[in-house]
Structure 1
């Protein structure tokens, strides 16, 4: 399901139970991203500055204006999934299924851990099964309908990741699929938090995307926000004076979200942190003269968490890489926190923008920053305009205690989402 569009400014949604509800915690995480498969490998790549951006190799891109991508190059689906699933899944669903299994294993959860109706699934994808469906369309046009896979009936659909994960792991509790482009992954986690607060003990949540076939590539390029740069080290430069757009990427992250008391009752071995606050807003109608809704989303998420701006130790930025959008985000951050008052980072500069997968990957990075007391640097960016008024972490990771982090995401057409994470004790 997706949020309806609106021309009204800053229409907020936040969890109704408020601060007095039982804490909702993260007990398992996994990442599948350019430059790193698995949580620790991804985190290592983020801290060491290992980039996953290069020329796309899924098909011949020499005739295209945009040629760079954050491509996952070391994932062999047959090594991670049973053979019966391969004919019926798009590459994005294969990533989602693998990441889901890793996250459940990380949390120590199996089909026998909880009753099936006490476990739900909430995921987001902004592109669906692009590669699968376009391959089948090509068969339809070139060979005829008898050659089209029967799995085309669902493999393309935005809800397929939620369905495939729930079937594979016997998770029959309240489930959903959300679509809000780059903001969708945070919305999925926010909805998972709400679902737990309403009584479901555990919800698997996050987002994964991939659309690296020719049709998907053209669709992404049509946004006008993708860089045409050819040097991977100077292509995606969020908040830089030379910013020229973003690099598309594939992948994402999955988180296991649980009621804190239930997690303790089942003997969860680890808690990465607490989902302390969440909110989403819409931008006003273009031309209305009213400000974008990103700052309002951040303010609402902080209020939901019961925190003040001064309690936030780091902001994980949306980091569009488009000058006017970077400036708008910088104004939102500096306006809320004060000029240069809080460290800002954008680890997605190493992977590219993973659409619905980008926000959840940043959430995992934020939880690991809390765990390890370190803020990753924003790779490749070197020159931030002084009037942006932000303390962007550059060059090397910055060691500092991280007790609370704010993660931001924006999707095309006006979606804004914000999540606050804190340490396990908060």
Structure 2
């Protein structure tokens, strides 16, 4: 039983909508710049990837705006786009044949900060009743399922950057178990003072002020990553069910998936996740056309990933790309955006670039794609690592139906 992607919804720092995002990615348009959503001048980190020009009321009903954080507004907008892209009207399907699994690691930080400020400054009677759920990392799943009448299996994954792949992997399991359609993906909006202050202490954010030098994964002078908001939502369907309902397309199949966890004082098990995903897809490493890297932007983590890739494919044995250099790392939204980008790579036969890296660090013996590269792309491996030891890998392929 195949699980195929029939719809994509994308909101990214370098473009809203699938085709705008894809065009800007191929043109190396970066969405990283100075933080504009609040005054970050007093913070050591002042750059981020912000979704440009997003107005919630253009995408969701007015009544939902005061109930929701920006993260949920972005998620609802991405879901609506994915359903439209799949030419799917949920009202025409059985509610119990549709489920939702999303990933989120920050939750509704901006909403929570505002209501805590009200509590401290004005008293509990001024705290919104919606605070009871708007901050919660599971709220995207809940709001999507309510808005579209999806009463099948639901869930939420919290494994930071790896979460997007884990959510898709769980959704694939539900499709294989008999649920015809799953909405899945990851979206984040961690750009407010409270959210930024919570992430600065981990030491992984770049403190450079130049957007072209701040996030340089695998580069000789890498100093960390840039935070970003946004992500992607997918419509995942059983291939036969999609064909029977007259789906207009399949972007490709979720062919393989594997997750591992690093021991506290042991080596990374990212390589094991990669090999497991390839094996789950019924392939060997020679069957992979390109790797979308996790691209942490920290020298020790970049080297570990490069060595894992080299161990699986050999030195320079497969093209490697990290288009997230144009968006920043989107936490749970990042890997799903990579999946969407990989499916577009398959569709158009092109590998998107990694920008701004410069000279590779010693020991990173990978074929890093730094300019758009035309090539037959049929099967893509996506890697993701979450803070705390989470590793996930996924294979998407052109198989399915068209």
Please report the TM-score for the alignment, with normalisation by the length of structure 1.
Answer: 0.93
TM-superposed CA distance for 1:285, in Å, is 1.8
User: For residue 363 of structure 1, what is the aligned residue in structure 2?
Assistant: 339
For each residue in 1:317-343, what CA deviation from the matched residue of structure 2 results, as whole angstroms up to 9, or x when unmatched?
Answer: 000000000000000000000000000
Secondary structure at the counterpart of residue 188 of structure 1: helix
Output the CA distance in 1 between the equivalents of 2:143 and 2:332. 17
CA contact (8 A) 2:15 2:52 kept: no
For each residue in 1:76-113, what CA deviation from the matched residue of structure 2 results, as whole angstroms up to 9, or x when unmatched?
Answer: 11111110000000000000000000000100111233
- Count of matched residue pairs: 401
Output the CA distance in 2 between the equivalents of 1:59 and 1:106. 33
TM-superposed CA distance for 1:291, in Å, is 2.4
User: For residue 5 of structure 1, what is the aligned residue in structure 2?
Assistant: none
RMSD: 0.9
**1:151 partnered with 2:127:** no
User: For residue 217 of structure 2, what is the aligned residue in structure 1?
Assistant: 238
In structure 2, which of residues 273, 283, 301 is the aligned counterpart of residue 325 of structure 1? Answer: 301
In structure 1, which of residues 108, 116, 123 is the aligned counterpart of residue 87 of structure 2? Answer: 108
CA contact (8 A) 2:45 2:207 kept: yes
Following TM superposition, the consecutive aligned residue runs of length 4 or more in structure 1 with deviations greater than 6 angstroms are: none
**1:379 partnered with 2:343:** no
CA contact (8 A) 2:13 2:51 kept: yes
TM-superposed CA distance for 1:58, in Å, is 1.4
User: For residue 406 of structure 1, what is the aligned residue in structure 2?
Assistant: 381
TM-superposed CA distance for 1:424, in Å, is 3.3
Secondary structure at the counterpart of residue 202 of structure 2: coil
TM-superposed CA distance for 1:386, in Å, is 5.0
Output the CA distance in 2 between the equivalents of 1:250 and 1:361. 11
For each residue in 1:155-203, what CA deviation from the matched residue of structure 2 results, as whole angstroms up to 9, or x when unmatched?
Answer: 0111100000000001110010110011001100000000101110000
TM-superposed CA distance for 1:218, in Å, is 0.6
- Unmatched tracts of structure 1, length 5 or more: 1-21
User: For residue 114 of structure 2, what is the aligned residue in structure 1?
Assistant: 135
Please report the TM-score for the alignment, with normalisation by the length of structure 2.
Answer: 0.99
User: For residue 101 of structure 2, what is the aligned residue in structure 1?
Assistant: 122
Output the CA distance in 2 between the equivalents of 1:119 and 1:108. 15
Output the CA distance in 1 between the equivalents of 2:361 and 2:66. 49
Output the CA distance in 2 between the equivalents of 1:367 and 1:386. 31
In structure 2, which of residues 193, 198, 215 is the aligned counterpart of residue 219 of structure 1? Answer: 198
Secondary structure at the counterpart of residue 74 of structure 2: helix
Output the CA distance in 2 between the equivalents of 1:251 and 1:99. 9
User: For residue 394 of structure 2, what is the aligned residue in structure 1?
Assistant: 419
CA contact (8 A) 1:220 1:248 kept: no
- Unmatched tracts of structure 2, length 5 or more: none
CA contact (8 A) 2:91 2:148 kept: no
CA contact (8 A) 1:121 1:203 kept: yes
Output the CA distance in 2 between the equivalents of 1:273 and 1:37. 22
User: For residue 329 of structure 2, what is the aligned residue in structure 1?
Assistant: 353
